[in-house]
Amino acid sequence: MASAAPSNILMLGGTRFIGQYLARQLVEEGHQVTLLTRGKAPIAARIPDDTDESHAAYSDAVQHIAADRKDADAVKNALKGREFNVVYDINGREAEEADLILEALPSLEQYIYCSSAGLYKASHELPHFETDAGDPKSRHKGKLNTEELLEKRGVNWTSIRPVYIYGPLNYNPVEEWFFHRIAAGRPILVPGKGNQVTQLGHVKDLATAFRKVLGNPKAARQAYNISGERFVTFDGLVRLCAEAAGAPEPELVHFDPKAHDLGKAKAFPLRDQHFFTSIAKAQADLDWTPEFDLAAGLRDSYEKDFSKTGGRKKADFSVDDLVLKGAGKQAVPA
Ligand SMILES: NC(=O)c1ccc[n+]([C@@H]2O[C@H](COP(=O)([O-])OP(=O)(O)OC[C@H]3O[C@@H](n4cnc5c(N)ncnc54)[C@H](OP(=O)(O)O)[C@@H]3O)[C@@H](O)[C@H]2O)c1
């Protein structure tokens, strides 16, 4: 790994998904890493890529501070007298949360933030570039507000905007949603014609991009889309998931989401629209490009996680059954 000068890093998070991969890379690169979490999740749980040696080395090296980052007094007390030169804010959702950290650590050299491509306003022109407008009404408006706050506070910030993240340990049922249905030999329900184009990025490639912005002058006060290099249709994603699981091609049932009143229940794990970004800016500035194509990345996730755990969430096909019953199995007209 190419090394940035050793930093004393505070990571907000680090114990669920992205942060677990990133913290390991940072420790391996020689940085001092301290995780701030509530301490509900284990601090150095073994992850699929760990060997006995790497896990022991990581467990010995990583430090922990226990606090709820939403509790202003707890954050103030926990960080009193502590010196860090870099913050990786992986789990922040609202600007006030970042503000507390900036107040407590006024002399940071860099604040690296996990934002989301979900902040973009839907647009007729794709892929999304970092210069595209954000949507102040989106569910991710807190990410947008945080980026604005970081700019306003004059801190040297870098924001990473992932699209859909996948890989072993994924807590969101993305690839797992398909793997469950494939394992059960169920038909896969896909909204519309299944030709909606989307984009997924492997968690390890994301962690590498996060690492590569550290101390990088080009990344000063910049946002970067991070995801896979290519885009995929919904139907294509189903087929790649089946390939990853070593299963025959599943039956695809295209349905009209508007024909069903499902309330808040989700009949498909991805937003029903074209949604993808350009990662060209990150490739130009960060000496980074994804190592995983989607087929290899899905295989990695299946082999290291789903095939061993059977999934992080229990399979639930009740919504599929509702749609199948209501829709019959007719395809959406071409
Ligand atoms: N999944 C996607 O497709 C996607 C796409 C775009 C962006 N994102 C962004 O990616 C990030 C996901 O990060 P991750 O979960 O993988 O992060 P992570 O750094 O691996 O870990 C998150 C940890 O944060 C701790 N935490 C939660 N609430 C806390 C609180 N109030 N105070 C202190 N610690 C707290 C939890 O541990 P304790 O319970 O022990 O506190 C949790 O294990 C989010 O910012 C999300 O918006 C995700």
Q: How is the chain split into domains, by residue range?
A: 8-169+201-229+277-292
Confidence of residue 332 (pLDDT cuts 50, 70, 90): low
Report the distance separating Cα 298 and Cα 170, nearest Å: 11
Phi/psi for 280 (5° steps) reads -60, -35
**∠ CA 122-88-96, rounded to 5°:** 65
CATH of 8-169+201-229+277-292, one of 1.10.443.10, 2.60.120.10, 3.30.1490.20, 3.40.50.720: 3.40.50.720
Write down the pTM of the prediction.
0.96
Q: Tell me: the pLDDT tens digits for 267-305?
A: 999 999 999 999 999 999 999 999 999 999 999 999 999
Does the beta carbon of 139 lie inside 6 Å of ligand 1? no
- Mean pLDDT rounded to a whole number for the chain: 95
Inter-CA distances, 14 with 11, 26, 33, 91, 289, Å:
6, 11, 10, 8, 23
Read off the DSSP letter of residue 128: B
Max Cα–Cα distance, the chain, nearest Å:
65
Does the beta carbon of 159 lie inside 6 Å of ligand 1? no
Closest CA to ligand 1's atom 6: 116
Distance 205 CA to ligand 1 centre (A): 17
Closest CA to ligand 1's atom 23: 13
Residue 92 neighbours by CB under 8 Å, 6+ apart: 12, 69, 98, 113, 114, 142, 146
- Output 208-211 pairs: Cβ under 8 A, ≥24 positions apart: 208/25, 208/288, 208/291, 209/160, 209/282, 209/286, 209/288, 210/18, 210/22, 210/88, 210/112, 210/114, 210/160, 211/1, 211/22, 211/25, 211/26, 211/29
Distance 20 CA to ligand 1 centre (A): 10
Amino acid 172 reads N
Q: Where are the beta strands (DSSP E) in the chain?
A: 8-12, 32-37, 63-66, 86-89, 110-114, 157-162, 164-166, 188-191, 197-198, 200-202, 222-226, 232-233, 252-255
Helix ranges restricted to H, 217-293: 234-244, 280-285
**The pair of three-digit structure tokens given for residue 3, joined into one six-digit string:** 């090394």
CB atoms within 10 A of CB 3: 12
Q: Which atom of ligand 1 is nearest to the CA of 140?
A: 47
Residue 318 neighbours by CB under 8 Å, 6+ apart: 265
**The pair of three-digit structure tokens given for residue 331, joined into one six-digit string:** 């395809």
Confidence of residue 2 (pLDDT cuts 50, 70, 90): very low
Does the beta carbon of 164 lie inside 6 Å of ligand 1? yes
Amino acid 290 reads P
What percent of the chain shows pLDDT beyond 70?
Answer: 97
Phi/psi for 11 (5° steps) reads -110, 125
Which pLDDT does position 260 carry in this prediction?
86
Does the beta carbon of 116 lie inside 6 Å of ligand 1? yes
Distance 303 CA to ligand 1 centre (A): 24
Ligand 1 pocket, mutate which of 12, 18, 305 (most atoms under 8 A from CB): 18
Confidence of residue 331 (pLDDT cuts 50, 70, 90): very low
Residue 212: alpha-carbon gap to chain centroid? 16
Distance 280 CA to ligand 1 centre (A): 26
| Sequential DSSP letters for 200-237 | EEEHHHHHHHHHHHTT-GGGTTEEEEE--SS-EEHHHH
Which pLDDT does position 329 carry in this prediction?
43
Which pLDDT does position 20 carry in this prediction?
98
Q: Which atom of ligand 1 is nearest to the CA of 92?
A: 45
Mean pLDDT of 228-256: 97
**The pair of three-digit structure tokens given for residue 202, joined into one six-digit string:** 């492997």
Closest CA to ligand 1's atom 45: 91
Does the beta carbon of 110 lie inside 6 Å of ligand 1? no
Does the beta carbon of 41 lie inside 6 Å of ligand 1? yes
Mean pLDDT of 50-73: 98
Q: Is the pLDDT confidence value at 254 over 90?
A: yes
Distance 84 CA to ligand 1 centre (A): 20
